[in-house]
Structure 1
Amino acid sequence: MSQDGTNSTGGRQKPASLATIAKHVGLSVAAISRVLNQAPAAKSIPKATQDRIFAAAAELNYRPNALARSLRHGRSHTVGVLVPEMSEGYTTLVLSGLEQGLLQSGYFYILVSHHHRPELIARSQALLIERSVDALVAIDTILESHLPVPTVTISCPDEQEGYTNIVLNHRRAAELAIGHLVGMGHRSIAVIKGQPFSSDTAPRWDSIAAVAEEHGIQIDERLVSELEGDGPSHEPGYFATQRLLAAGVPFTALFAFNDVSAIGAIRALREAGLRVPQDVSVVGFDDIQSAAFQNPGLTTVRQPLKTMGMLAAETVVRQIGTQTDYGHAKQLQVDPELVVRDSTCPPPRKN
């Protein structure tokens, strides 16, 4: 066998078993297992012997069965993660915090995208359980069945038995955005709602309508447009704004469901000959990384998405490690903040 682990025919050597290593070094399989698995009992074996065992394992291309070891210890140190899709914005920011939190605690994750297809969500849950994940984190995903592992959901407004749910304070978000626009003098405000399948659509719209009414503004139904399709691009916001413009009802401000749709909205407004913000102010939602680099910089409601991901990791690892009773629903609410940039200003003066 050569130094790179290939045999005389040039192929990769077949991984050795514990029995092969035991025969090679003249020790029992039990002793080999204790050393390679770093069991407490291995401390009784001299260091020189342990070094010889590790050297033989490397020479013979031994590969431990991680899954079998995890099952013996009752942990796989992996977490299953369900997301609608992967794109710039909401999901990637939540995942960045989740990943950081899990890695700091010595956990890896298996990521599955389901594109809001119920049958794929069900299959994904079964697949993750089959792979012995220690817990599950579901982002903007409605879970129909209860899982036998600790489960944390993010942005699922309905409390579900047995899950810890991390949600945004949508009421506060509406107060920040609507209050900002009304404070500058806007009264005719258009709204782009999210798709029906998004968990945030209903609570966000309900909060916007309620806060607007408290300010004495009844949002005209002709100034409400809904995102269509499940694509994570700017196009849904672009087409939703075109429908608003086609309705023929003047508006001086637009509050979009997210930053991605707000960017599409700005394109549609400009194509219609309207200036942002001089003619129409635009407010987004999320504060994705590119929001500050738009022209103009996008005023937006910042969700602490990375913090939400880290909170999910901290919660699920704690439940795994302490074997706490996770059979009771618990909701953790986080607060947004308003980031004011250049896409909003007072409405144009009437002549």
Structure 2
Amino acid sequence: MVAQRLAGCPDARRSYTRLAGLKLGHRGRPAERFGGFLEAAPLLFGSVCLPYVMWLTSYLEAPLMVLWKSIVLGIVQGLTEFLPVSSSGHLVVFSGLLKAGSTLAFDVALHFGSLIALVIFFWGDIAGLFRGFLCTFRGKLSHEEARKRNMFWLIVAAIIPSGVIGVMFSATIEKAFASLYVVAAMFLVTAALLFLQYFASTTRTIREVGWKDALAIGIGQVFALLPGLSRSGTTMSVGVYRGLKQEDAAHFSFLMAIPTIAGAAIFKLKDFLQAGMSSGALTEIGTGVVVSVLTSLVAIGLLLKVARKGKMQWFALYCVAAAVFTFAAHYFGFI
């Protein structure tokens, strides 16, 4: 429950740790300094290899290969939706590698799959936040009820800036900054944001988040509308710069992601319903939802594990590699 977590209850903390598959690390030990990278390495290695595999198969037109593309693209997008490496940037790069972008049906499936994964992983938090919303309409509240209510409205305040800008200008921003050189530059900005977390003084927990913190994180999410600039990486970094521990900044970022992704899914669903459904869309949607749910759960668990150990700077190395790959591939005409 949110109340227990926000109160710092040891039992709730252990329960949350088991749920996320996390273990407390010991900061400062040489072996631990590379723990985050070693755990993330298989996933990051797969993200690097998948573009090459997809490029080799991009010219095969068999229905089975089309399904294979949907599965692999779903894996990549499901992972990058929550890892701080920018899903929008990877989408632009993969669209170039595959010589075709993902369909509107697949985009809708991806968003709903990611939303389902968040609901599964943070169901206790969602229930607590809903009770906090209901407490808004009551007069006298206990300390825990007031804390739930405040957390609910802090998240609302955090998503308002990106919600307003996203609805009004998201399409314009994506078209204006869809250049692969811009994407490569934003990968580098994401890397810098993640790397600078290493120098931040982090002592505060999620229960200490205030209105200034929420608004600052929300403004950070506005800049993440730029393709190549990671939403989770940006919001987490702003939280860390304001003194939140990495795992608490990640936790707040994920809670913000629930209404953010839900809004994006509804926004795209409107366009999808207007465009209609093609004959093969049902298979594509089903594949996209299943793959997105599974890979999103993996990504959420991995990010929380790395964040608890304070090793987010290892994702910065991947973003630098992604920037170099994107720039070189575009310069030499591969994408």
Please indicate, yes or no, whether the TM-score normalized by the shorter chain is above 0.5. Answer: no
Q: Which has the higher contact order (CA 8 A, sep 6+)?
A: 2
Relative to the length of structure 2, the TM-score reads: 0.28
Larger strand fraction of residues: 1
Relative to the length of structure 1, the TM-score reads: 0.27
